[in-house]
Amino acid sequence: MLAFVDMLLRLNWVTLAIVAGVQAEFGSMIWCVVLLSISMCINLLVWRRYFKFKFDMERSDDLFVAYKTKYPKTSKTIIVLSYLVSFQAIRLVYCNLVSMKQLNGSFEKKRVYYITIARVTLLEMICLFLPALAMNIYGMFQFQPNGQLYFLGVDSLTLIVMAMPLIIVTFIQ
């Protein structure tokens, strides 16, 4: 669930940036572009560094390698999503959504994986969610309550509020 909420949030920020640019609200557009840039940095510089290079989960984790061998298209898609859209997308590997075999993978190094994703999630909360929260609260007072930017901001705020309990549950597990 957290993977879907996080990817929807990125889609919301892209839409918000486009609509803000069209409506000449360049401050909001720049905020969204900055948030998306920070997101890409976290995905590529932090997540990819740990997942692919430091712990080499793509090659050294036997269960994940077996999963990649059995479902190559699904695993490549999920890995690309985790590097480009949101690192939370890697959770799709083991989410077992509607009992699909393609989404029923696992990791042998579970402890390493969970610690890594928890640390990056904490970084995401601090560097992305708090500024996005501030941007959305500011937008609620800045934009007209019947405008598209207002509702995109409310949508973004809702997704952030939905992500927080999911993140807390993830930390508890």
Q: What mean pLDDT is reported for the chain?
A: 90
pLDDT in tens, 114-134: 888 889 999 999 999 999 999
Rounded CA separation 64/14 (Å):
31
Domain assignment present for residue 172? The answer is: no
Question: Is the full-model pTM beyond 0.95?
Answer: no
The verdict on residue 173 lying in a domain is no
Query: Could you tell me if residue 139 is inside a domain?
Result: yes
Residue 57 lies in a domain: yes
CA-to-CA dists, residue 161 to 83, 96, 111, 135, 136, angstroms:
24, 24, 27, 14, 11
Question: How many beta carbons lie within 10 A of that of residue 37, not counting itself?
Answer: 10
Task: Give the pLDDT score at 96.
Answer: 82
Q: Is residue 90 part of a domain?
A: yes
pLDDT digits (tens, 9 = 90+) for 85-109: 999 998 898 888 878 888 888 888 8
Q: Domain total for the chain?
A: 1
Tokens of 66: 């077996």
3-class DSSP state of 108 = coil
- Tell me the percentage of the chain whose pLDDT exceeds 70: 100
Q: Summarize pLDDT for 134-173 with one digit per residue, the tens.
A: 999 988 888 888 888 899 999 999 999 999 998 888 888 7
- Token duo for residue 57: 């989960």
| Residue 33 included in any domain | yes
Q: Is the pLDDT of residue 53 over 90?
A: no
What pLDDT, on the 0 to 100 scale, is given for residue 73? 94
What domain range includes position 94?
2-167
Instruction: Give residues with Cβ within 8 angstroms of 18, minimum separation 6.
Output: none
pLDDT of residue 114: 86
Closest CA to 41 of 92, 84, 6, 12: 84
The answer to whether residue 38 is domain-embedded is: yes
Q: How many CA atoms lie within 13 A of 78 on its CB side?
A: 23
| Domain membership flag for residue 91 | yes
Contact 89, 81 (CB under 8 A): yes
Whether residue 156 contacts residue 9, with contact meaning beta carbons closer than 8 Å, is answered with yes
